[in-house]
Structure 1
Amino acid sequence: MRGFHHHPQGEPSHRHHFGRRGFGRPGHGWEGHAGEGHGGRGRRRVFDSGELRLVLLKLIADEPRHGYELIRAIEELTGGRYVPSPGMIYPTLTMLDEMGHIAEVKSEGARKSFAVTPDGTAHLDERKVEVAALFARLAELAGLQERTDSAPVRRAMGNLREALILRLGRDGVQKQTVHDAVAIIDEAAQRIERL
């Protein structure tokens, strides 16, 4: 395989993460990749490998890009909710290259940029319905990020955090107090789910 699996020199080291601006635990929720990022228990994938190939192919068809630009493009499309890792992007680019769907083009610096080939364009045409559904999924993640990252939600989460630190950070806090606080939080979570 022609290797560009390793992270190119000079590109930031992006970790695979979700909810960058912090609503809930990073990497927790239906949009996670099982076994990646933080946690890794019971999470469903955003994309399987074939779907990720289509997303990258469509982004490259829109304009030639290198790996880091693809990571940033997906991050922007999801409002920061989903940031694929270089360990996902670069092997997928290798596969697209070997399939003849993309080809390396000249670019400035050490980064390898890729453009779509005629075979790649034909493949996108054959899968246009699926491609549209995948980009709709990205837009849905962006909408979810916008709703859960709103200023009132951040303020309320901050208030909860400060209250917990203030009350449970005191010397001599009883175990029952901790249990009561946990019960209140659990009840609030259940009430929100029922809204």
Structure 2
Amino acid sequence: MHFFSQSHRGHGHRCSERGGRPDIRPDFPFGGGGGRRERIFASGDLKFVVLHLLGQKPAHGYEIIKAMGDLVGGDYTPSPGTIYPTLTMLEDLGWITSAQQEGGRKEYRISAEGQARLDEQRETVERILAHLGHVRNRAHGRRLPEIMRAMENLKTALRLRLGDDAPDPAVARRISEIIDRAAVEIERC
């Protein structure tokens, strides 16, 4: 069974076992998914990424936000409303400490207890970092100019061919078969 996922909310395409054709969502144009992008972090993962970053070097909250965006490849930047409560929680747990710097900014650093916790969770951290690497690679792939051009060409061809009227069922079936074959070929690359 092949999976073509646009998000983890269930709006992606899933090929059926009947003939390898994606199950089309009739409520979205061209069967596409809608809604939010996939979740970057599973529950509880963010704190380990923050610990990992602080294990590399002390940092201000803004530097952690920037480093997190770099880990994910620029498609995601955590909000201060996500990072600062996480830093507060980690400080409350005793896993990090903070010191007020000139200009009023806090610099955070991992504590001995935090380093021990990070070492205990090494496999979890490696799993999270591997996932972030995949997310980064997908983000990079979506920004390749030749792929972006080809995707825009496909959308334009569909708009021109389909227009505002419902296409003949035979034409619609033929177009969907062509797109399905292309999707399978792309998956095999």
| TM-score, normalized by the shorter chain, greater than 0.5 | yes
% identical aligned pairs = 40
Please name the residue that 1:192 is paired with.
182
Higher helix share: 2
State the AA in 1 paired with 2:63. E
Higher Rg: 2
State the secondary structure of the residue aligned to 1:109.
helix
Determine the C-alpha separation between the residues in 2 that align with 1:164 and 1:190. 14
Is 1:39 aligned with 2:35?
yes
Name the CA shift for 1:167/1:143 in 2 (closer, same or farther; >3 Å). same
Q: Which has the higher contact order (CA 8 A, sep 6+)?
A: 1
Name the CA shift for 1:110/1:191 in 2 (closer, same or farther; >3 Å). farther
Please name the residue that 1:114 is paired with.
108
Please name the residue that 2:53 is paired with.
59
Determine the C-alpha separation between the residues in 1 that align with 2:144 and 2:38. 25
State the secondary structure of the residue aligned to 1:96.
helix
Task: Please report how far the alpha carbon of residue 76 of structure 1 lies from its aligned counterpart in structure 2 after TM superposition.
Answer: 1.1
Gaps of 5+ in 2: 1-5, 10-33
Identify the match of residue 7 of structure 2 among 26, 29, 33: 29
State the AA in 2 paired with 1:174. D
Task: Please report how far the alpha carbon of residue 190 of structure 1 lies from its aligned counterpart in structure 2 after TM superposition.
Answer: 2.5
Name the CA shift for 1:153/1:98 in 2 (closer, same or farther; >3 Å). same
Q: How well do the aligned residues superpose, as a CA RMSD in angstroms?
A: 3.3
Q: Give the length in aligned residue pairs.
A: 157
Gaps of 5+ in 1: 1-27, 32-37
Identify the match of residue 139 of structure 2 among 137, 145, 150: 145
Task: Please report how far the alpha carbon of residue 106 of structure 1 lies from its aligned counterpart in structure 2 after TM superposition.
Answer: 3.1
Map of 1:6-17 to 2, 5 A cutoff?
A: none
Map of 1:28-177 to 2, 5 A cutoff?
A: 28-30=6-8, 39-40=35-36, 45-163=39-157, 173-176=164-167
State the secondary structure of the residue aligned to 1:140.
helix
Task: Please report how far the alpha carbon of residue 181 of structure 1 lies from its aligned counterpart in structure 2 after TM superposition.
Answer: 7.4
Please name the residue that 1:8 is paired with.
none
Task: Please report how far the alpha carbon of residue 189 of structure 1 lies from its aligned counterpart in structure 2 after TM superposition.
Answer: 4.4
* TM-score scaled by length of structure 1: 0.64
